């Protein structure tokens, strides 16, 4: 990505419209969020509070990008001038951003606020999912779930202009719709389309996961399984070249399983840039997973932003440790993957396959801090499902 990482080429607040547009977008978001409490089975106070919290972190993100740069500036500036043919991934995100920058004349900050609304809806879906996972748990676990939703890095990375806010929205709605799969299958499909449009390789993993999960759902008859498998498999055949092309595979390699593994190995070196990169090639698989999910830890940081992110990593690590200890030492009901309303098989396959590939190919802490939220919401859902305390 040709990253324009400075703001010297344009002025953020140059006229009255720049100020007015910020408040217009904010209050449109507040209006939409205010009437969302029934959708997520919660209160107006809770949804509005989460919106305000997310907006605070969005404001911090705006400030940091104005000082140190970032992909958000690229997406904003490129959306003002781009004349590309439509394609999935970065270009699709630019097309979406153009609706607000060139279509409605929104400024840098007000465009940020649009993505802030998108990220907030993802946060509301995650909050609803974790409340579902903890409805029969102790007040301590419910409080821990709330603290999880309020993690600063979660709202920070899901509020910026670019793919991350849209992807976070898609992942969280994919999770939320899977909890009541029969009633929310349309939302599930829309979420799948959003994810594929934004990051085709993650969308491809989701489609394959859905394809595989159908084999394990015991409530489906054989005829329905065959029908759904055909419906899932046929589009996958046509979309596979797009998925591979989105990560640069088809441009440089012939289609073969051996070349695919070679390319995945090579992807490790693509992200080994900057001071926050590590050599994951020499790590075993478990340590690669640990590195992707929980590093950097506080003692590994080199600046303020990395240190603050490491505190959230420490909190996430604590959640996983509590879950593991709970599974080992606390008596509980058996956790069933075949559930009468939830598609837990899909969530499990998607999160584990996605995590495995991402952890194997991402060697940069800055990238993993943003992109792990493509699978982390689902992993957290499973953590709170299995968590018990004495």
Residue with structure tokens 């394959």? 208
d(C-alpha 37, C-alpha 159), whole Å = 20
pLDDT digits (tens, 9 = 90+) for 330-357: 877 777 888 888 889 999 999 999 999 8
Identity of the highest mean pLDDT range in 233-242, 258-267, 361-370: 361-370
Average pLDDT of 190-218? 88
Average pLDDT of 61-71? 87
Instruction: Give residue 269's pLDDT.
Output: 59
Measured N-to-C along each axis, helices 90-98 and 185-198 cross at an angle, to the nearest 10 degrees, of 110
- Give every CB contact of residue 203 below 8 A, 6+ residues apart in sequence: 192, 193, 195, 196, 197, 239, 243
Model confidence at 263, pLDDT cuts 50, 70, 90, reads low
d(C-alpha 119, C-alpha 127), whole Å = 12
Instruction: Give residue 3's pLDDT.
Output: 46
Instruction: Give residue 253's pLDDT.
Output: 54
Nearest to 308 by CA among 158, 164, 156, 163: 156
Q: Which residues pair with 364 in a beta bridge?
A: 277
Instruction: Give residue 314's pLDDT.
Output: 96
Q: Which residue has the higher pLDDT, 206 or 69?
A: 206
Model confidence at 262, pLDDT cuts 50, 70, 90, reads low
Average pLDDT of 206-228? 79
| Cα 99 → chain centroid | 22
DSSP state of 334: P
Average pLDDT of 284-299? 91
Q: Is the pLDDT of residue 255 over 50?
A: yes
Instruction: Give residue 5's pLDDT.
Output: 47
Burial class (CB in 10 A: 0-12, 13-18, 19+), 368: buried
Measured N-to-C along each axis, helices 108-133 and 376-386 cross at an angle, to the nearest 10 degrees, of 20
pLDDT digits (tens, 9 = 90+) for 24-38: 999 999 999 999 999
Q: Which two tokens stand for residue 67?
A: 């000082």
d(C-alpha 152, C-alpha 369), whole Å = 12
Average pLDDT of 367-371? 89
Q: Is the pLDDT of residue 251 over 60?
A: no
d(C-alpha 299, C-alpha 218), whole Å = 47
Average pLDDT of 287-308? 89
Instruction: Give residue 9's pLDDT.
Output: 46
Q: Which two tokens stand for residue 23?
A: 């408040």
Nearest to 127 by CA among 90, 167, 182, 172: 172
Measured N-to-C along each axis, helices 344-361 and 163-179 cross at an angle, to the nearest 10 degrees, of 150
Q: Which residue has the higher pLDDT, 311 or 9?
A: 311
Q: Is the pLDDT of residue 224 over 90?
A: no
Model confidence at 213, pLDDT cuts 50, 70, 90, reads confident
d(C-alpha 47, C-alpha 64), whole Å = 26
Q: Which residue has the higher pLDDT, 276 or 214?
A: 214
pTM of structure: 0.88
Average pLDDT of 276-281? 72
For 237, other C-beta atoms within 10 Å of its C-beta total: 8
Point out the least confidently predicted range of 10-19, 50-59, 332-341. Answer: 10-19
Nearest to 174 by CA among 199, 151, 157, 155: 199
pLDDT digits (tens, 9 = 90+) for 80-127: 887 778 888 889 999 999 999 999 989 999 999 999 999 999 999 999
- Give every CB contact of residue 286 below 8 A, 6+ residues apart in sequence: none
Mean pLDDT score of the chain: 85
C-alpha dist (Å) from residue 43 to 46, 60, 122, 129: 5, 26, 16, 15
Instruction: Give residue 260's pLDDT.
Output: 58
């Amino acid at each position: 990505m040709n990253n324009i990482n400075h703001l010297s080429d344009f002025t953020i607040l140059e006229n009255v419209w720049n100020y007015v547009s910020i408040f217009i977008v904010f209050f449109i978001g507040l209006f939409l969020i205010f009437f969302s409490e029934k959708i997520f089975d919660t209160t107006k106070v809770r949804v509005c509070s989460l919106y305000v919290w997310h907006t605070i972190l969005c404001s911090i993100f705006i400030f940091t990008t104005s000082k140190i740069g970032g992909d958000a500036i690229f997406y904003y500036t490129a959306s003002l001038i781009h004349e590309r043919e439509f394609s999935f991934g970065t270009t699709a995100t630019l097309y979406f951003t153009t609706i607000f920058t060139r279509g409605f004349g929104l400024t840098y900050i007000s465009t940020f606020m649009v993505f802030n609304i998108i990220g907030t809806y993802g946060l509301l879906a995650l909050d609803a999912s974790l409340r579902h996972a903890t409805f029969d748990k102790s007040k301590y676990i419910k409080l821990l779930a709330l603290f999880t939703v309020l993690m600063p890095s979660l709202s920070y990375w899901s509020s910026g202009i670019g793919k991350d806010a849209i992807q976070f929205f898609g992942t969280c709605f994919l999770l939320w719709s899977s909890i009541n799969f029969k009633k929310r299958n349309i939302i599930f499909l829309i979420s799948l389309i959003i994810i594929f449009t934004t990051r085709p390789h993650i969308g491809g993993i989701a489609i394959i996961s859905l394809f595989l999960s159908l084999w394990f759902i015991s409530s489906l008859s054989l005829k329905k399984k065959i029908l759904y498998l055909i419906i899932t498999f046929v589009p996958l055949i046509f979309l596979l070249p797009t998925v591979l092309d989105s990560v640069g595979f088809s441009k440089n390699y012939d289609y073969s399983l051996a070349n695919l593994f070679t390319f995945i190995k090579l992807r490790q070196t693509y992200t080994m840039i900057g001071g926050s990169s590590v050599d994951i090639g020499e790590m075993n698989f478990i340590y690669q997973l640990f590195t992707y999910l929980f590093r950097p830890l506080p003692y590994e940081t080199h600046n303020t932003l990395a240190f603050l992110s490491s505190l959230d990593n420490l909190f996430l690590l604590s959640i996983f440790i509590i879950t593991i200890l709970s599974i080992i030492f606390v008596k509980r009901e058996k956790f069933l993957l075949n559930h009468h309303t939830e598609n837990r098989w899909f969530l499990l396959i998607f999160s584990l396959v996605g995590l495995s590939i991402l952890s194997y190919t991402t060697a940069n802490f800055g990238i993993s801090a943003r992109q792990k939220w493509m699978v982390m919401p689902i992993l957290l859902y499973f953590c709170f499902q299995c968590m018990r305390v004495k």
